[in-house]
Chain A
Amino acid sequence: MTEPTPETPLPKAVVRQAIAWHLRLESATEEEHATLVVRLDAWCERHPDHRLAWQRVSQLNGEFSDMAQRLPDHRTSVPIVQRASRDLDRRKALKLLLAGCAIGGSGLWLTRKHMPWRADYATGTGERRRIVLADGTQVMLNTASALDVAFDDKQRLLVLRAGEVLVDSGADAAALHRRPLRVQCRFGLCEALGTRFNVRDDEHASRLSIEQGRVEMRHGQGRSRIAESGESYRLDASGIHRLERLTLDPTAWARGMLVVTDIRLDAFVAELARYRWGFLACDTAVAGLRLSGVFQLASPQQVLQHLERTLPVTVASRTDWWIRIEPRA
């Protein structure tokens, strides 16, 4: 469809009539067809616009036929286009409305004021972000994370809406009274006792790791416990559990690294998938393979190549977004 488009558009009513002619002809029986063609011819004779409209509609139809020729299976193509179109509609409705606001205004980055439903701080997949809060507390957000900040006279509350955050608590020197620093995660509340710690939310559990100092954990169901420096805990529906042997360095991500020790391949792939957009999974036949190493989060692609070199696996990618780790043939 590259031909230059000529002059003024034809009247819409004429185009509609030409389309109606086209549809009538297509559904006509053979006997009807002959008489219809004669009448169509007369219609085309009546005005040059009619003829041009008819030519174009016929041309358009020809182009559709060409398109159909390039599709191997028409019946299967219909649901594909339907699904993809619906998916696209949904995305546009969700996200492009926001883009519209950005253009309508001064073109400035949207602030929270305009988007109250979004978290105060958020990161996209593969993104990391360091934020210094008013009290001097430094937080680092990991990939695909969202954090709300709710400070008042009584407390400094951080609400982890999604993902993972590393907190380095500040002195809060300007405050009149001591205000505890708390991080609320899916399965509990963590109160800092002068410290640097990491909180991560997954679907079925929250995880807390203490790098320095101590943290008091309060489970949603009322139990509480103190976590000491160097310890890691899992908070889930059943309570608080100490994690003894870690296969993943809980705070290496803050340095842009993925550090693993004797981790199962499926767990490793799931971890890597957090930093990449699209589908990344692992065949069950190789899920139990184990690996150790230090990887750069910035280049998941290289990590995948490394897997191919060191393990008996092959990285099968059907598109950029669809990748599966499979046993090597």
Chain B
Amino acid sequence: MAMKPLPIIVSLTVTKPPSAMYAESPTAFECLYRAHHDWLRHWLCRKLECSERAADLTHDTFLRLLTRQAHVAGETPRALLVTIAKGLVVDHWRRFALEKAYLDAQATLPDTYAPAPEAQHEALQTLEQLIALLEGLKPKVRDAFLLYQLGGLSHAQIAARLQVSRRTTERYVASALLHCYQLRFEND
């Protein structure tokens, strides 16, 4: 495998104290990087279908590995890299999906939804947080919760909109709240 230049990431070992493992053996990370960089980039390239973005996320993946306190199990560094990379890929998709939906909405409602750049940035961040929070919920549960929490609709109105019973709407909203509660207070 060709030797890759390491300038950006390695300089971080100086500015930011890495996890114990790397502090003791400063070359361990370099070895890992050299051994798996190309492989990971290729993996990401397939997932993202974009070589530039893949290069960015490869960089980010190694950066996460370097700065987090986890110990790398000797045999399965690639499994760990993929776990980290997978999270980053989803982050990327989420942002992409949001920007697309946001721009589409802006195009149809230019007057009501064209805030100043700063407010827009804040809105995008908040929406991204919200999407992440509701991830994993069934679409109907998610819709019910959004209409209730953001749309300000009553249970009866949501029931009519989603064509389910009022009782079901209440159950949907409650289960979405439980989901958020667990993410907020029980996730480690």
- Residues of A participating in the B interface, judged by any CB pair closer than 8 Å: 1, 5, 9, 12, 15-16, 19-20, 22-23, 27, 56-57, 60, 63-64, 67-68, 70-89, 91-92, 95-96, 99, 102-103, 107-109, 122, 124-127, 144, 276-277, 318-319, 321-322
Task: Write the residues of chain B forming the contact surface with A, with a CB cutoff of 8 angstroms.
Answer: 39, 42-43, 45-54, 76, 78-79, 82-83, 86, 89-90, 93-94, 96-105, 109, 112-113, 115, 119, 122-123, 125-127, 129-131, 134-135, 139, 142-143, 146-147, 149-152, 154-155, 170, 173-174, 177-178, 180-182, 184-188
How many residue pairs bridge A and B at CB < 8 Å?
A: 176
Asked if A80 and B127 make an inter-chain contact with CB atoms under 8 angstroms apart, the answer reads yes
Bound CA–CA A321/B49 (angstroms): 13
- Could you tell me if B105 and A81 are in contact, using CB atoms closer than 8 angstroms? no
List 30 A–B pairs whose Cβ atoms lie within 8 Å, in order of A's numbering. A9-B182, A9-B186, A12-B178, A15-B181, A23-B174, A57-B177, A64-B149, A70-B125, A70-B126, A71-B150, A72-B119, A76-B109, A78-B147, A80-B98, A81-B101, A83-B100, A83-B104, A84-B100, A84-B102, A84-B131, A85-B97, A88-B90, A91-B93, A99-B47, A102-B82, A122-B46, A124-B49, A127-B45, A321-B96, A321-B99
Shortest distance in angstroms between B12's beta carbon and chain A's nearest beta carbon? 23
Give B52 Cβ to nearest chain A Cβ, in Å.
6
Inter-chain contact A103/B83, CB cutoff 8 Å: yes
Contact flag A109-B39 (CB < 8 Å), given A60-B184, A70-B126, A76-B112: yes
- Give the CA-CA distance A4 to B5 in the complex, in Å: 39
Contact B86 A99 (CB under 8 A): yes
Judging by beta carbons under 8 Å apart, are A60 and B127 in contact?
no
Task: Determine if B109 and A88 form an interchain contact, defined as CB atoms under 8 angstroms apart.
Answer: no
Min Cβ gap A195→B in Å is 29
When the two chains form their complex, are residues A68 and B150 in contact, meaning their CB atoms are under 8 A apart?
yes
Q: In the assembled complex, which residues on chain B have CB atoms less than 8 Å from the CB atom of A5?
A: 185-188
Using known A-B contacts A80-B127, A85-B135, A318-B103, determine if residue A57 contacts B181 with beta carbons closer than 8 Å: yes
List of A residues within 8 angstroms of B78 by Cβ? 107-108
Known: A88-B93, A124-B46. 14 other contacts (CB 8 A): A9-B182, A15-B178, A23-B174, A56-B184, A76-B113, A77-B130, A78-B147, A80-B101, A81-B146, A84-B97, A89-B139, A103-B82, A107-B78, A276-B50
